[in-house]
Amino acid sequence: MEARVGEPSAGRGRPRIERVVMPIDAPHDAAVVDAVARLRDAPGFAALTGTGARADARWSILAAWPIAEAVVPGDARPGSVDPFDALRRLVPPVVPEGADDLPFAGGVIAHLSYDLRIFTERLSDRHPSSPSAPLLVARLFGAAVLLDRDRRECSVIVVRDSGDADFDRKAEVAFRRLFDACRAPVPPRASLPPPTVPRFLMGRDAYRAAFDAVRAHLFAGDVYQVNLTHPVEGTVFGGAAALFERLVAKNPSPFGGLFHLGGDAWIVSGSPERFLETRGRVVRTRPIKGTAARDPDPAEDRRLAESLVASEKDRAELAMIVDLLRNDLARTCEPGSVAVEDACALETHPTVHHLVATVVGRLAEGRDVPDLLARAWPGGSISGVPKIRALGIIDTLETARRGPYTGSLGYLSLHGRSDWNLLIRSAHVVGETAVAWVGGGITVMSDADAEWRETLHKLGGLAAAAHWVLPESGS
């Protein structure tokens, strides 16, 4: 395999990106799994992966050997630290040249927990924290591996001449280690685990009671929509990396990933949903609301998709979230710049159909990506309308802190791009135990049994990857 070294785009003494480009001989999804297998044991490992055939699944970003790290523990309280400022302070004032065609040019890869909601709004927090679920883990990288599905290339990049000798030294070490890892043999695959039955930590009866409580709030006029979720716990033989590998095979996704939280705690993401994307000052969000199961029969699958598109309940649910997100973006975007690009589109995934909208805006002068995240946190599609009241109801009715679930994995590149997912269809894995949450938006038109079945459909891809057998009753 012959390597091609990218030409420096600027003279010595100016920050720039250099890259070594190698062809990818395997199919893209297999190349992603192989790269993760080679690097997963490296310090500070982080992977944001795009798999499957969709246009927004073109790139995967992998990094290790970070230059610096910021961690906000799960038991931190408002006033003790500003997590979004901690993220901001980790990004150096470096804008490397030569990266216009890349999604990531060095920078920060981070996880933000859903439970950061107590830092962005004055909200109750009645559930205990967990040491395995920090509120923020952000790592600064000066080198990374980028896999490009369209060009069938693997690039190993490094930031040169940042003006910070320590940054440059650590970036060079990471670059050489990443390059060597990309040429190393692929470790053996984990064998298929035996089937196991997971535990529904909020059983069907408890879910119905919570659903009825949400409906009471809806009919009282307290809220218009609440995203009610519940956790499922099970064994994943081989741990997080084995689960990720099987998830890519069973349910490829455009916003997946594998992220080391610390110790034996990981996030495994099979998310289909983008939370926020920025390119320069242009902001885009793509909320999902409305779900229908896929069917192996093409005619029935088409009927299910058409029924979803025609669903008054699901279209109304999406419209409410679009309005909420327009307001959220308006908090940091230029006045008059927030607009709806697409109010309702059908999006098809391996196990489900979804309705999706697109909202755009332009970040106001003096605002940055941490500002945007803080003022839109948590995502509207996983909370409710109005958001603050819905968040309070969620805290009262759900059985534990959500932790990573409905938080985000994403990056903030040194050349002005960022992309953040919503951690749905994802698992918090500690050792060989995984907790995966599932849920959906409840409105006055919702039916408890239908909503419960929808949560099981959403769990389907992850359950197949974990080799979980789901009981019909979910109890």
For residues 68 and 215, give the distance between their C-alpha atoms in angstroms, rounded to a whole number. 46
Q: Which of 18, 245, 250, 273 is catalytic?
A: 273
For residues 142 and 48, give the distance between their C-alpha atoms in angstroms, rounded to a whole number. 16
Residue 30 backbone phi and psi in degrees, to 5: -65, -35
Extract the tokens encoding 445.
């038109």
Calculated CA dihedral for residues 118, 120, 122, 123, nearest 10 degrees: -40
For residues 102 and 113, give the distance between their C-alpha atoms in angstroms, rounded to a whole number. 27
b/e map of 162-197 (b: 16 or more CB within 10 Å)?
A: bebeebbebbeebbebbbebbeeeeeeebeebeeee
Extract the tokens encoding 40.
């997963």
Quick one: 13 exposed, middle or buried, by C-beta within 10 A (0-12, 13-18, 19+)? exposed
Q: Is 347 labeled as catalytic in the residue annotation?
A: no
Per-residue DSSP letter, 380: G
CB atoms within 10 A of CB 151: 13
For residues 236 and 329, give the distance between their C-alpha atoms in angstroms, rounded to a whole number. 38
Which residues are registered as beta bridge partners of 339? 360
Strand ranges in 263-387 using DSSP code E only, listed in sequence order: 265-271, 274-279, 282-285, 288-293, 339-348, 352-362, 384-385
User: Is there a contact between 252 and 57 (Cβ–Cβ < 8 Å)?
Assistant: yes
Q: Is 273 labeled as catalytic in the residue annotation?
A: yes
Nearest to 16 by CA among 345, 414, 286: 414
For residues 29 and 49, give the distance between their C-alpha atoms in angstroms, rounded to a whole number. 9
Quick one: 386 exposed, middle or buried, by C-beta within 10 A (0-12, 13-18, 19+)? middle
Q: Which of 250, 289, 387, 458 is catalytic?
A: 289
Residue 423 backbone phi and psi in degrees, to 5: -80, 75
For residues 281 and 362, give the distance between their C-alpha atoms in angstroms, rounded to a whole number. 5
Nearest to 226 by CA among 240, 242, 215: 215
User: Is there a contact between 289 and 314 (Cβ–Cβ < 8 Å)?
Assistant: yes
Q: Which residues are catalytic?
A: 273, 289
